[in-house]
Amino acid sequence: MKRPKCVHAFDIKFGRLLVEYLGGDPSPIKRHWCWADFAKAYPHLREKAEKYFETTRTGNPAQAAYSMVRYGSSREWAEGVIERAKTGDPSFVAHWMAHDHGSNREWAEGVIERSEIGNPAWSAYDMYRLGGSSREWAEGVIEKAQIGDPVTAAYHLAHDCGSSREWAEGVIERAKTGNPAEVACCMFNGCGSGREWAEGVIERAEIGNPAWDAYILVYHSGSSREWAEGVIERSKIGNPEKAARYMVYDCGSSEEWAAKIKQKFAS
């Protein structure tokens, strides 16, 4: 039988293919099953399953390995799978290995620091909040993150955990991934950042949906309608047409102006 490709989230189709490939009876697998259900139901296939997850290059082998520890696989084996994973989100799983299965905190921090996939910035936030890592360490990971969503992690570290507003603003201003315009709105509403600062982030945004965030800043936070209309007119990313419609519904922009936006982005 052909080796099945590992998936990101366990489902009945993959589960039955995997069990059949490993030489078991797939009929007990139900639609609601997850990785842990598989591990619990097939202890006699554990060794073969471990070899499969060690060598897979698709899906989320790190999450599968974490679940298998609960039902008999060794922590050391799972840590090896997580360290070598080239797909999925091994940084997220490393945090939960430390939280639930007794993996060393320094080991988890190392996985997160070296991660080239997933969302290591959020995992660093979780390690500070739940795993005993220092806030300074988490801030360093978030500052250096080039993948995932460092801006949301920075906002939560400032909002929930005592990091400075100025530090989070710097992360957001420099971000090349995530949605800095959206998080700038959150910083204004939740952390006391200036409205002018948030407007500047939205105006300069090269990722995300700045037109929509301009609408949000008018509707919820008192920015001027004229400012938002200018952002929407100049926007080259996201969905400016939708933002223009809602500016008409909620903020007093004219139907004629919104029609021009629609025409501009339809052409």
Q: What is the pLDDT of residues 8-29, one digit of tens each?
A: 999 999 999 999 999 999 999 9
Place of tokens 């300074």: 136
Mean pLDDT of 142-154: 98
Confidence label for 267 from pLDDT (cuts 50, 70 and 90): low
Answer whether 157's CB lies under 8 Å from 142's CB: yes
Q: Does residue 223 sit within a domain?
A: no
* Domain-located, residue 59: yes
Taking all residues of the chain, what is their mean pLDDT, rounded to a whole number? 97
Does a structural domain hold residue 172? no
Does residue 81 sit within a domain?
Answer: yes
User: Is the confidence at residue 233, as pLDDT, over 90?
Assistant: yes
Summarised one tens digit per residue, pLDDT across range 174-228 is 999 999 999 999 999 999 999 999 999 999 999 999 999 999 999 999 999 999 9
In a domain, 73, yes or no: yes
**Residues 54-108: tens digit of each pLDDT:** 999 999 999 999 999 999 999 999 999 999 999 999 999 999 999 999 999 999 9
For 81, the domain range is 1-88
Structural domains of the chain, count: 1
Domain annotation covers residue 12: yes
User: What single string gives the DSSP state of each residue in 96-163?
Assistant: HHHHHH---HHHHHHHHHH--SS-HHHHHHHHHHHS---HHHHHHHHHH--SS-HHHHHHHHHHHH--
Report pLDDT for 264.
Answer: 87
202 is a domain residue? no
169 within domain boundaries? no
Task: Convert the pLDDT of each residue in 160-184 to its tens digit.
Answer: 999 999 999 999 999 999 999 999 9
Q: Look-up: residue for tokens 């910083």?
A: 187
